[in-house]
Amino acid sequence: MAKSLSEYIEWLDNRPQLLWPKPPLPAPLEATPYLKPLPEMRAVCWCIYGTLLNIQGGRLYHVHPQDVRMQIALQKTIDEFAMWHSMTRKPGQPWESMLPQYAAVVEELRMAATKRKGDASEVDSSKVWFKIIDRLLRNEYPYDADLYGTPEELALKVAYFFHAMLQGVGMPPATITTLRRLNQAGLRQGLLDDAQPFTLKQLQYAIQKVDPSVSLGSLVSPDCVALSFQFGMKKPSETLFAIAAAQYRRLGIDPQQVLYVSHRLADDLAVAKRHSFRTALYAGDAGACQVDAADLRDPALKPDRLITDVTQIVEILGV
């Protein structure tokens, strides 16, 4: 039987010969926390990449702005899954042939995504790789179905591998402690972010690497998860935030009773404010949180609270 995605992620991590990009160490910002209590909150909604998970650039990329990262990740993916022999041969390195194909498929799926006017299209990375794998299969591409499963299951594992080689992620132990503290206090916890089909498994594995006794399902309510790939739209799409707000209302929780925590201001927290969420800016990493003093004075952008450490959420909520 083919490995599940969770089993595959663990199997990969136990292969010492694989060289993974390391998650960045947070670079402190010159910021003063504002931690006035908000005791009326009933839920906390988290941004994943850049807030819960340390990641270079503060977000997940389809096409990384640093060319060398794309080159390395694509070449490692081609090598890992032995794609080269079924690719159209061109002069140069294998990644040079794959990069324009990959970028073209990403753009094709982005243009094809249905969205409301003003929303930003999201692309499912597993569908990108499925289209590429489908082309390879027409060229008699062999792969280990006992390990990877169907072509769709293979595509999901390739998507995870590629993104893991593109951007390393990690979760500080203090973040897990905070999540557990909020859970023990009876607060619902949700997720709202630009993410992919492998994200929840990636988040789960990051948690269990620090504390094997903790499961993501015990901390986060599945009824409070709004991830971009699920709906074909990403931040700052108004519709994505409206969907998240509706999730809480169905549980009898007004968005004004939900504290949304993110390191992204203009394209994230500012939109959440328009949908009545209370907001907390995580300004703990200069590489992820890019704001200036003028942003924080703008009434349309200004968050309700500002933290420089995720653990400070406990003080704000009085738990």
Q: Which residues pair with 260 in a beta bridge?
A: 45, 279
Q: How far is it, in rounded angstroms, from Cα 1 to Cα 246?
A: 39
Q: Which residues pair with 201 in a beta bridge?
A: none
Residue extents of the structural domains in the chain: 22-55+169-317, 67-166
Q: Are 310 and 175 in contact (CB under 8 A)?
A: yes
Q: Using one digit for the tens of pLDDT, what is the confidence trace for 34-63?
A: 999 998 999 999 999 999 999 988 999 999
Backbone angles phi and psi of 170, in degrees to 5: -165, 155
Q: How far is it, in rounded angstroms, from Cα 271 to Cα 240?
A: 10
- Nearest CA to 203 among 228, 184, 176? 176
Q: How far is it, in rounded angstroms, from Cα 206 to Cα 54?
A: 10
pLDDT for the residue numbered 24: 86
Q: Which parts of the chain sit beneath pLDDT 70? A: 114-115
Q: How far is it, in rounded angstroms, from Cα 192 to Cα 48?
A: 7
pLDDT for the residue numbered 246: 98
- Nearest CA to 58 among 283, 271, 284, 289? 289
pLDDT for the residue numbered 40: 92
Q: Using one digit for the tens of pLDDT, what is the confidence trace for 194-240?
A: 999 999 999 999 999 999 999 999 999 999 999 999 999 999 999 99
Indicate the class that CATH gives domain 22-55+169-317: alpha beta
Residue type, 312: Q
Q: Which residues pair with 55 in a beta bridge?
A: 169
Q: What is the pTM of this model?
A: 0.95
DSSP secondary structure letters along 75-142: HHHHHHTT-GGGSPP-SS-HHHHHHHHHHHHHHHHHHHS---TTPEE---HHHHHHHHHHHHHHTT--
